Amino acid sequence: MQGWLEGFKRLAERGGRFTLSTAIFAVVTISPAYAADAEAESVCITCHAELEGELQAPAVEWPKSAHAKAGVMCQDCHGGDPSDMELAMKTKGYKPRPKRDEIAKMCARCHADPLRMRQYNLRTDQFDLYTSSVHGRKMAEHDLEPATCVDCHGKHEIRKIDDPFSSVNRANVAKTCGTCHSNQKIMEKRKIPFNQYELYKGSVHGQAYFERHDLGVPTCINCHSNHGIQKPQQMTTRFICAECHIEQADAYKKSRHWAAAQESGKPLCIHCHGNHAIVRPTSEKFSAPGDLNCLSCHQKNSIQMETAAALGTAITTAKAELDKAKSAMKGMEQWSGSGFETSQLKANLAKAGKMYTGMRTAAHSLNAVAVKADGEAVKQISASITGEVDRMMRELRIRKIGLAVTWLVAVLFSVAVWQRARYCKRD
């Protein structure tokens, strides 16, 4: 504590003001969570707590960081003497703010050190990945606008990746990437679209991510990586969809499209589904005009479009029968207590649904014969479900009519008995 008392004394001698914020920062930073012993005490926090705006930020943000919890202090990044108010910024290689092209190397002093990182179970290759990435290569060319460590992780309030308030937490990383990639000024000078973030928000992935808070769907880092980001034109990025969509990729590799992609680089997933603005495909993809549909590459009356039409028809007709069966089952379930056993029908409906999903996956193989055969099986199962539900509903209606007639006869008989009773009573 002696170091802190001396710091307060010197702050007073220089005209510093003792405020509530000073007391709070003093208490926070000398607590066991942030300072294990007297050596961890720092006049940096004392001084910055008295400042305003951007200069106060380090004192506000650092205590909440992973670095504070790990005992990484101001001088570890900025140098200087943290024990002396007068000499803090005059000794030991003090650097007030590192240059942008020096930040990654500064962070790597610790994060590329296996001995230091071993205790935290952290990787030590991030710096090597970054220097080989599109961001790192541009930075090496003295372009200071590409992202570096602090742009993604923050400056002083650097939190662990599993912290929900971390800028690189899975729930926040898309927004973090969008900070730069939605900047029109920065992106236009590099001839890069600046609407990827908005497109992603409207995509099937983005809707699940933002609206349903499904953190299992792909976000920026799943497709582009994090520290080792490369140009999206590379095959590893353009075919990254196969990492999640394994069955679709296996079917695709059996198609003529895959053979063509080995020679010319297309068509790949992005040529049919897009990249950031991916939507759930429908059977219209096989026949309707559109930049990502079959007609965007193939002539209308070509043999390729005959295959596309066969695939589209098989999927469309199978879906129609399956939807009828689902609707019939839904109507049946509304008549709870009808006395009919429907567990087998539900099992058959689930089987048909699974087969239909398999059809959509198999369509990537362009094997129209196999897809059509699966479609016929789906239609047959669905039609049998619909037919059986219709039979049950007819029987149920007959039961209801019989019940209504029974009640009517019972009421009429009761009325007749009552009338007869009255007549006998008068006699």
pLDDT band of residue 37 (cuts 50, 70, 90) is very low
Please state the domain count of the chain. 2
pLDDT of residue 337: 55
Nearest to 158 by CA among 95, 228, 70: 70
Is residue 2 over pLDDT 50?
Answer: no
Domain finish residue from 75, 97, 119? 97
Instruction: Give CA torsion, residues 275, 280, 283, 288, to 10 deg.
Output: -50
Query: Is the torsion defined by CA of 350, 353, 354, 355 positive or negative?
Result: positive
What are the pLDDT digits (tens) for 295-337? 999 999 999 999 999 999 999 999 999 999 999 998 887 765 5
Contact status, residue 303 vs residue 360, Cβ threshold 8 Å: no
For residue 12, pLDDT over 80 is answered with: no
Task: Using a pLDDT cut of 70, give the percent of the chain over it.
Answer: 88
Q: What range defines the domain where residue 90 resides? A: 1-97
Whether 26 is covered by a domain: the verdict is: yes
Would you say residue 29 lies in a domain?
yes
Which range has the worst mean pLDDT, 94-108, 144-158, 353-367? 94-108
> Could you tell me which residue, 86 or 25, shows the higher pLDDT?
86
Decide if 416 is inside a domain: no
Residue 416: predicted pLDDT = 83
Kindly state the average pLDDT of the residues 400-417: 86
What does the pLDDT average to over 38-42? 53
**Tens digit of pLDDT for each residue in 146-178?**
999 999 999 999 999 999 999 999 999 999 999
Final residue of a domain: which of 82, 97, 112?
Answer: 97
Does the residue 347 lie in any domain? yes
248 assigned to some structural domain: no
pLDDT at 203 exceeding the cut of 60: yes
* pLDDT computed for residue 28 by the predictor: 41
| pLDDT value for 427 | 58
Global pTM value: 0.79
Q: Is residue 398 part of a domain?
A: no
Last residue of a domain, one of 49, 68, 97: 97
Which two structure tokens, joined as six digits, stand for 170? 């899975």
pLDDT for 139 = 96
Identify whether 265 is part of a domain.
no
Residue 92 CA to residue 82 CA, distance in Å, equals 10
pLDDT for position 398: 83
| CA–CA distance, 151 with 17 (Å, rounded to integer) | 33
In a domain, 7, yes or no: yes
Contacts of 218 (CB under 8 A, 6+ apart): 205, 244
CA distance 97 to 1: 28
